[in-house]
Amino acid sequence: LHIIDEVLIPNSALPLLQVASRANASEIVKLMKSAGLHSALTGKKDFTLFAPSDEAISRLPAGLRNSLSNPKVLKNILLYHLIEGRRGIDSFENEELLDTLATNKSVRANMYNYGRVITMQGGRILPFKFDLKACNGIVHVVNKVLLPPKGTIADIIEANSDFSTFSSLLDKAGLKELLRKRPSLTVFAPVNQAFFRVSKAKIQRLLEDDYKLQTFLKYHIFQGTLFSPGLWDGCNPYSLNGEAVSVKVTDSEIKINDALVKKADVSANNGVIHIVDGVLQTHAKYIGRFFPLLPFV
């Protein structure tokens, strides 16, 4: 027999934000209150909240943290973590785009490792902290703050001067429209310095042969949105040129073949970009023998 001095109230009898606080996501609740969203989330209307854990909030870069002092920026980011209605994890489909309360912004659901890993815009839904039922919705705790994309994959590559070499090669190969229009892509984008380690002779051969250039570039492009939780040690995803890459994952880094991922999970409207420090070397002479080239659409 244990005597307690207060009534134990189940989550299902509590409002959304109180359930989030109970699940070690109290910092996002404080931000919701400061943005004036508290009253809307304690009413009768149901919402689903993807609540970044307190640890995720503590890891925010200083620049992003400072930007949250702007009320408009803060509110837009917070609304990006909310969708209308109750959505449990069993209702999500891979590559599903869920409309958020942020104007014209959706979050992308992905399932990896046979559904054992579920992400929202690259933020992993934490084990044992999903489907937390409140009286006015459901809370899923995620391991990162979700940020709205800033354009298509092509837009992001064009806007970043660190990708100017990669961007110009994509233009020459006629692949920019693919990265602008095709949904659900993953791109490992080499920075300019990566091309310094490629011989001038090889670059020249690529520039002189459109087929070789497309084959080389398509080795950096993958169908399907592979955020970092979908890249596990030993997996071998296939690129658009039909050839697989080798993925090596440790606690501190991700490598694709021999290229180090410098920055992972740059989300785009139509997929995700991972920034790598080296080009992915393809063995083009084997491609036609073993793997059919996928059509360029």
Chain segment 271-291, per-residue pLDDT in tens: 999 999 999 987 544 333 333
The whole-number pLDDT of residue 11 equals 76
User: At 10, is the pLDDT very low, low, confident or very high (cuts 50, 70, 90)?
Assistant: confident
The whole-number pLDDT of residue 4 equals 52
Cα Rg of the chain (Å, integer):
22
The whole-number pLDDT of residue 285 equals 40
**Which is it for the CA torsion 114, 184, 175, 228, positive or negative?**
negative
pTM of the model: 0.90
The whole-number pLDDT of residue 286 equals 35
The whole-number pLDDT of residue 287 equals 38
Q: At what angle do helices 26-34 and 71-79 cross, to 10 degrees?
A: 130
User: At 118, is the pLDDT very low, low, confident or very high (cuts 50, 70, 90)?
Assistant: very high
Measured CA to CA, the distance from residue 54 to residue 224 in angstroms comes to 30
A 10 A CB-CB count for 27 gives 20
Question: Domain ranges in the chain?
Answer: 11-142, 153-276
Mean pLDDT of 144-153: 97
Could you tell me the two tokens for 262? 């410098």
Q: Using an 8 Å Cβ cutoff, are 220 and 261 in contact?
A: no
Task: Please say if the pLDDT value at position 3 is more than 80.
Answer: no
- What residues contact 272, with CB distance under 8 A and at least 6 apart? 122, 185, 186, 187, 225, 226, 227, 265, 266
Could you tell me the two tokens for 13? 């009898």
Homologous superfamily (CATH) for 153-276: FAS1 domain (2.30.180.10)
Tell me the C-alpha to C-alpha distance, in Å, between residue 117 and each of 31, 95, 96, 104: 27, 13, 15, 27
Q: Identify the CATH number of the domain defined by range 11-142.
A: 2.30.180.10
Q: Report the chain's mean pLDDT, rounded to a whole number.
A: 92
One-letter amino acid of 222: F
The whole-number pLDDT of residue 206 equals 94
Same fold across 11-142 and 153-276: yes
User: At 43, is the pLDDT very low, low, confident or very high (cuts 50, 70, 90)?
Assistant: confident
Q: What digits encode the pLDDT tens for the residues 234-264?
A: 999 999 999 999 999 999 999 999 999 999 9
Running DSSP on this structure, what letter comes out for residue 262?
E
